[in-house]
Structure 1
Amino acid sequence: MADIATRVHNHKWKIDPIVRSLIDTDFYKLLMCQSIFRNRPDTQVRFQIINRTSSVRLADLIDEGELRQQLDHVRSLRLTRGESTYLRGNTFYGKRQMFRPDFMEWFENLQLPPYHLEKKDGQYELTFEGTWPEVMLWEIPALAVMVELRSRAVLERMGRFEIQVLYARAMTKLWEKIERLRAIPDLKIADFGTRRRHSFLWQDWCVQAMQEGLGTAFTGTSNCLIAMRREVEAIGTNAHELPMVYAALAETDAELAQAPYKVMADWHEEHDGNLRVMLPDTFGSEGFLKRAPDWLTTWTGVRIDSGDPATGAERAIRWWQDRGEDPRDKLIVFSDGLDVDKIEDLHARFKGRVKTSFGWGTMLTNDFRGLVPDGALDPFSLVCKAISANGRPTVKLSDNPLKAIGPAEEIARYKRVFEVGEQAPMKVTV
């Protein structure tokens, strides 16, 4: 196990680059990429980093030269032979050869496209443009680079013993959380913390701690590289990016209304079993479920990623009941802003009513709250989203209006088409 404090104090970035592999990414990005490679390979998209915590002025903290070095390093990465063998030959979700030969040949020759970087009002404007399968794979590495460079900027002001004490306290804090989680019967929990992790080394340590501390209750990690190295399951299905881009490509309001279900139809054709977990909140969960075709009731479950999680789960349970399904046979994956208190509450509330699983993200891999003066290492809300497709703006409404993305006039149009009424805003922490 790495001595993280010593590595941080003595690190040279070429020894410890922030992103060290093309599969140092969330597994669902690879699953989605294959689907896009098959169904929409020529779509032109633009992705952009968006800092929703404007008080964290990244351009004042992060050296531009170092940021460019790290981004250029990501562009130098290629899939290794061992990584290719893992993706081609491993069993994921009980399925052999999850990734098709034509996709793997493309991925083995991939170089991520160029980036555009400039400073604006104390923030970095970082964008990526090109074909969708290529550009989408920038999302996770770009976020990891930005967040870890902020962490490094804070740690550079500390001495060796101060850093050692900091990590000792962070390790104790996490282990105390794990001890609480041990007490939850039949818990199923995975690491979803790649995109806003404190660092790669810290995420890797957290995964090992979860393995030892939780045993079979720990179901895996979203990070494909760590899953390979630590021999745990790679976890992931799909994300908001798919309906956002499909919707932007719609020619009419009628096509727009059907875009989320076109996504599901393409996914249904490609995957089965536990990969059929729908994410209904991109344009409002209530309307999505109300208008959903009957064949979606056969899917394994629902992931809840915005709004009040208990409300979202109750809505899904009612939907299954109204469609003649037994919720006890279904799965709800909670993945929005989780920490131990919320996990305990949600598990207790829905025990015996529906199967539950938890994707624990930023508060697993980047909870340094209270450990550094002035909250200098507190987690913050950084996202990387598709902002246009074939020149048209994308929109995300979410079940929390504070997470909405897109031009105001397009947001208004989407709310009309998807019949989204009043929504209760909830504070966005991560």
Structure 2
Amino acid sequence: MVDIATRVWNHKWKIDPIVRSLIDTDFYKLLMCQSIFRNKPDTQVTFSLINRSKHVPLAKLIDEAELREQLDHVRTLSLSRGESTWLRGNTFYGKRQMFSPEFMEWFEGLRLPPYQLERRGDQYELTFEGKWHEVMLWEIPALAILMELRGRAVLDEMGRFELQVLYARSMTRVWEKIEVLRDIPDLSIADFGTRRRHSYLWQDWCVQAMHEGLGDAFTGTSNCKIAKSREVEAIGTNAHELPMVYAALAKDDAALAQAPYDVLSDWHDEHEGNLRIILPDTYGTKGFLDNAPDWLAGWTGIRIDSGDPATGAQTAIDWWKSRGEDPLEKRVIFSDGLDVDKIRTLHAQFADKVKVSFGWGTLLTNDFRGLVPNDALAPFSLVCKAVSANGHPTVKLSDNPNKAMGPQDQIDRYKRVFGVGDQAAEDVVV
């Protein structure tokens, strides 16, 4: 097992680039990339970094030259032969050849496109512009780089023994959480922590700890590189990015109202079984479900990613019942701001109503809260989102207005089109 504290101490050796592979990314990005490659190959999209936690001054903490060095390194990466073989030949979600020969031929020749970086006061403005299926693959590496460089800025001030003690305490914290989770019967939980992880080495350690500590209750990791190297399942389906871009491309209000269902119609044509998971909250869960076509009720499950999770799950259960479906045959995946207490509470509340799963993210792979002075390693809310498509702004409403994004006039328009009324704001932890 890697001695993480020693590797951190010796970062000057340059043996630990923050992103070390094009498949050091979330599995859902590759699934979505193939869908976009097939269905929207000419769409031009701009992605932008958004730091929701303005109290974290990234441009003061992170040296611009070091940031550029890490970003430039990512642009040198390409698929290795072993990675290509894994993607072409492995079984994902029970399906062989998940990725088509045409997509793989393109992916094998890919180098990520250029980026634009400027300092704006205490923050960085980082953007990526180009073909959607190319620039979208910047999202996870960009987030991982900013998160880890911020961590390194704090760790660089620590001595070798301080680092050893810090990681010993952090490992103990993760293991104590695993011990709590062991007591939950029929638990199903995966690692969703790539995008805001402390570091690659730390995420890899957390996955190994989950695998050993939870056995079959640990269903896999969203990180493709770790899934490959640790021989666990790669987990993931789709994200808000798809409906946000499809909606931005809509020509009028009628097309806008239909856009979230057009996304899933394209997905339905490509995937089946456990890959048919609805993410309904982009423009409000209740309105999405109320207006959903009947064929969507036959999908496998729903992921709850904003708003009050218990309310979201009950809304899904009621919807399935109203469409003549048995909720006990359906899966609800909770994935928003989870930690062990919330996992335990939600499991107890819904385990006898639906099949319950959890995608555990930042508070698995980046929980160093309270372990250094001034809480300087506490996780914060950093995202990289599609902000325009073919020159039109994207919008996200969410079930939590604190997660909404887009120009205010467009937010107002989307609320009108999707019938979104008053929403209960909740703190965005991560």
1:228 aligns with 228
Deviations 1:68-98 (CA, angstroms, capped at 9, x unpaired): 0000000000000000000000000000000
In the alignment, which residue of structure 1 is the partner of 2:321?
Answer: 321
Deviation (angstroms), 1:13: 6.2
- Give, in whole Å, the separation in 1 of the partners of 2:134 and 2:325: 39
**Aligned residue in 2 for 1:370:** 370
Amino acid at match of 1:279: L
Name the structure 2 match of 1:158.
158
Match of 2:268 in 1: 268
| Count of matched residue pairs | 430
Distance (whole Å) between structure 2 residues aligned to residue 122 and residue 357 of structure 1: 39
Partner secondary structure for residue 193 of structure 2: coil
Alignment correspondent of 1:391? 391
**What is aligned with 1:126?**
126
Could you report, residue by residue, the CA deviation over 1:22-77 in whole angstroms, capped at 9, with x for unpaired residues? 00000000000000000001100000000000000000000000000000000000
4+ residue runs over 2 A deviation: none
Aligned to 2:287: 287
Structure 1 partner of 2:17: 17
User: What SS is found at the alignment partner of 1:42?
Assistant: coil
Q: Cα–Cα, structure 1 residues 187 and 312, in superposed 2: closer, same or farther, change >3 Å?
A: same
Alignment of 1:51-90 (within 5 A): 51-90=51-90
Say whether 1:200 aligns with 2:200.
Answer: yes
SS at match of 1:76: coil
Q: Secondary structure at the match of 1:333?
A: strand
- Out of 6-15 and 260-269, give the one that drifted further: 6-15
In structure 2, how many angstroms separate the alpha carbons of the residues matched to 1:227 and 1:327?
Answer: 30
Which one-letter code corresponds to 1:74 in the other structure?
V
CA shift for structure 1 position 377: 0.1
Cα deviation for residue 14 of structure 1 reads 3.1
Residue 92 of structure 2: aligned partner:
92
- Matching residue's letter, 1:71: L
Displacement, 1:19?
A: 0.1
Query: Using the alignment, how far apart are the partners of 1:84 and 1:258 within structure 2?
Result: 36
Question: After superposition, what is the alpha-carbon deviation per residue over 1:89-116, rounded to whole angstroms, capped at 9, x for unaligned?
Answer: 0000000000000000000000100000
* Partner-residue secondary structure (3-state), 1:114: coil
Q: Partner letter of residue 353 of structure 2? A: R
Q: Which runs of 5+ in 2 are unaligned?
A: none
Q: Deviation per CA, 1:222-241, whole angstroms, max 9, x where unpaired?
A: 00000000000000000000
* 1:109-120 equivalences in 2 (<5 Å): 109-120=109-120
- What's the counterpart of residue 346 of structure 1? 346
The amino acid across from 1:359 in the alignment is G
**Mind listing any 5+ residue stretches in structure 1 that lack a counterpart?**
none
Quote how far apart the aligned CAs of 1:289 are: 0.1
TM-score scaled by length of structure 2: 1.00
TM superposition score normalised by structure 1 = 1.00
- C-alpha distance in 2 between matches for 1:90 and 1:315: 36
What is the alpha-carbon distance in structure 2 between the residues aligned to residue 351 and residue 249 of structure 1? Answer: 39
User: In 2, distance between residues paired with 1:307 and 1:351?
Assistant: 20
Specify the code of the residue in structure 1 equivalent to 2:166.
L
Shift of 1:12: 3.1
Give the aligned residue type for 1:39. N
Distance 1:49 1:191 in 2: 23
CA–CA distance in structure 1, aligned partners of residues 10 and 249 of structure 2: 49
Deviation at 1:373, TM superposition (A): 1.0
Q: Does 1:412 align with 2:412?
A: yes
Q: Report the equivalent of 1:400.
A: 400
| Matching residue of 2:382 | 382
RMSD, aligned α-carbons: 0.5
